[in-house]
């Protein structure tokens, strides 16, 4: 191999290595959505064990969206309403956030459609599709019910 070919090969290898880590770094974030797409839930891993992650659920176009948005925007938070969160061992709660709750540069959501009556499980979380929404629970018997018409956290 002459010097020019070696330089081109070396440059191509370096360029490939520069691209490969970012392509390889995309983590699959498993999620589930209703067949109609009214409600979706996404698993986001925590910093430690798999059980330290959380489930993020949202219902775009929910009838209660304006009320929850007003609560999140009110001082002292001044944040946006983004949906609901269920921790691995904690109860469900409304999520007010200043932005997206995962890193789109390194994480990619992938949603499976769940028909009414079906169930989905990931780690400590189980979601069941019913009445146009989801009931999701963790192993600590905490949970969320989220639909476009109503929600409940426990």
Which three-class secondary structure state does DSSP give residue 119?
A: strand
Residues 6+ apart with CB under 8 A from 81: 65, 68, 69, 71, 72, 73, 94, 95, 96
Q: What is the dihedral of CA 21, 24, 25, 27, to 10 degrees?
A: 180
When pLDDT is averaged across residues 27-32 and rounded to a whole number, the result is 94
Instruction: Write down how long the chain is.
Output: 154
pLDDT for position 74: 86
When pLDDT is averaged across residues 17-32 and rounded to a whole number, the result is 68
Residues 6+ apart with CB under 8 A from 62: 147, 148, 149, 151
The mean pLDDT value of the chain amounts to 83
Give pLDDT tens digits for 66-87.
999 888 888 887 888 789 999 9
Give pLDDT tens digits for 96-112.
988 888 888 999 999 99
When pLDDT is averaged across residues 26-44 and rounded to a whole number, the result is 94
122 burial via Cβ count (<10 Å: 0-12, 13-18, 19+): middle
Q: Kindly report the number of other CB atoms within 10 A of residue 115's CB atom.
A: 8
pLDDT at 12 over 60: no
Give pLDDT tens digits for 121-153.
999 999 999 988 999 999 999 999 999 999 999
């Amino acid at each position: 191999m002459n010097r020019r070919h070696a330089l081109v090969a070396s440059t191509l290898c370096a360029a490939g290595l520069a691209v490969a880590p970012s392509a390889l770094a995309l983590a699959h974030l498993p999620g589930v959505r209703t067949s109609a797409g009214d409600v979706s839930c996404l698993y986001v891993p925590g910093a430690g064990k798999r059980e330290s992650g959380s489930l993020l659920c949202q219902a775009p176009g929910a009838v209660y969206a304006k009320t929850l948005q007003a609560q999140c925007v009110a001082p002292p938070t001044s944040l946006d309403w983004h949906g609901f969160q269920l921790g691995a061992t904690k109860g469900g709660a409304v999520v007010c956030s200043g932005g997206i709750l995962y890193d789109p540069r390194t994480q990619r959501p992938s949603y499976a459609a769940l028909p009414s009556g079906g169930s989905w499980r990931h780690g400590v979380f189980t979601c069941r599709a019913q009445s146009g929404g989801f009931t999701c629970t963790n192993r600590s018997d905490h949970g969320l019910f989220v639909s476009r018409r109503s929600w409940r956290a426990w």
